[in-house]
Chain A
Amino acid sequence: MKWYCIPERYDCIDAHNHVWGTPNNGPLNVEQTKQLLYSADCLGIRKLCVSYPITKPGVTVESMRYVNDIVVEAMKMSDRLIGFCFVDAALGQAAVDEVKRCVVENGMAGIKMYHQQFLEDDVQAPVMELAAELGVPVLMHAGKCTDPATMASQPYLSNASNFLKAVKKFPKTTFIQGHIGGGGDWEWNLRILEEMDSDNYFIDISGSVIDAGIVRRTVNAVGIDHVLFATDCSMEEGVGKVQAADLTEDEYMKLFSGNMKRIFARRRV
């Protein structure tokens, strides 16, 4: 092992993580959030981008606001937690208003989307245009799942081909493709991404899948300037698979924080 804890010089940012509420729409799960911060301490992760996505269809204005209020609570609990605002663009103006509330009024740093719609669908346009105007990234849950159960339960799950379409359709918006290791045929995604040629495209390495070579091959496919460190709650998996990639010092610096700081610098509000 090179290190059991990511060295401070990398100023590590986890680009994709989560906080959760307590049952029955209760307040922030403080104990779980403390556990997350403890784990980050163990592994040398300085800051974490957190969201609370609704993972099923049927998002309402109320449920969308509730999950984002939980993220605001988390941001108040620790300044190491950087909020991402969950929205379902199908809610139209309410989704746009929610982005403004979360990003402009409450200081969140990005937008989180799940698989309620494909990334490039027309319905996404108002949110994508606002994200571009505000200069904040859109992080979307993604994967190329090949098992019948996941394909049935996530029919609008975006994969790399949806990101290729989205960067063309919304050329001023910054995108983060969620978790190359989040489950699914990651090699398929990487073969598609060999065609990606956009400064506005990034991919994070999070997820529980730690297949040999996954990070190195992601870097080879899209270039180190487009890869972000992240865990999506799979903490040791995230740190361990980066070590397995045997990156150079310059590559570590970009992956652990340099690329994410470049995204944050695009903010206009």
Chain B
Amino acid sequence: MLFDINTAVGHWPFRQIPNQTLPELRRYLVSQGIGGAAVSSTNAVFYKNTQDGNLEIARELEDYDGFFVGVATLNPLYAAWERDLETCAKLGFRALRMLPKYHAYEWSAPEAQAMIAKAGELEMPILVPHELVNYRQRHHLEPEKPLNFNEFLKVAEANPNTNFIYMETGVKPDGNYPKNLYFEMSRYRSSYGDVLATLVKNVGADHVLFGTGSPFKAAEPAILKLHTSKLFGDELELISSENAKRLLKL
């Protein structure tokens, strides 16, 4: 079974994207052989009051028999984020997404540290995309650069009680990373240079998660990467779905 840790629904203002609704996204993922997904709100990237975006998908998620698991998107600079995070946890959201580049805060800011600590208390892993779309095609209202991985890493190291899933990244597969740092694999090369296998060898199969980036990206490349990765058996199971289930407490 494939569980996709990296999906979203909602309107993206800078490019027409297919499968923006939950029914469409589910149909698409199922057509790719994917049996479940963590989903976040694209609207929440742009709403000042991000919680409205979370509540929009919370109402719909109930109709999907557990296929989708909600990921809350919150801005630590906005009012009432702490209450919102608690509300999301009660509503069944199992993870938090933080977007310092889109919500215009420093990753090391005290407000961000408070949110990270709170997520840790609630045992919600934090999904952090390196970028949402490739920065070289940015709309002029989008960030000029992706997140700086070294800055991200320092914060992850300073918060050992919170789990982080770094997404949309191809950072060095052979670094000495803290145990609370996990990697979504869709942007790693696979058969050419065995990069994905190298990542797994170095950080452990229990620290890599399958993801596609749907509906922004085509899902097929990520599926192909798993297929050509030289990973089999238990390792493949962990990456395909078991790590996500464990981290999201499914």
Contact = CB atoms under 8 A, between A and B. Distances in A.
Interface of A: 1, 4, 32, 35-36, 38-39, 42-43, 143-150, 183-187, 208-214, 233-237, 239-241, 243-244
Interface string B112-143: 00000000000000000000011111111000
A147 B193 contact: no
Interface residues of B, number: 38
A145 B224 contact: no
B110 interface: no
Given A1-B33, A185-B137, A212-B19, 17 more contacts: A1-B220, A39-B192, A42-B191, A144-B137, A145-B137, A209-B134, A210-B217, A210-B221, A213-B16, A233-B189, A235-B189, A235-B191, A235-B192, A236-B189, A236-B190, A240-B223, A243-B218
B207 interface: no
Contacts of B134: 183, 208-209
Contacts of A39: 191-193, 228
Contacts of A183: 134, 136-137
Given A39-B228, A184-B137, A32 B32 contact: no
Nearest to B218: A244
Interface in B43-64: none
B11 interface: no
B23 interface: no
Given A4-B228, A39-B192, A147-B138, A240 B220 contact: yes
Interface of B: 15-19, 32-33, 133-140, 144-145, 187, 189-194, 214-225, 227-228
A143 B137 CA distance: 9
B18 A212 contact: yes
Nearest to B18: A212
B144 A147 contact: yes
List of 4 A-B pairs having minimum Cβ-Cβ separation, nearest first: A240-B221, A240-B220, A244-B218, A183-B136
Nearest to B195: A35
Contacts of B225: 236
Contacts of B33: 1
B187 A208 contact: yes
A239 B193 contact: no
A1 B17 contact: no
Contacts of B18: 212-213
Contacts of B193: 32, 35, 39
Contacts of A4: 224, 227-228
Nearest to B220: A240
Contacts of A186: 137
Given A147-B145, A236-B191, A211 B136 contact: no
Nearest to A207: B134
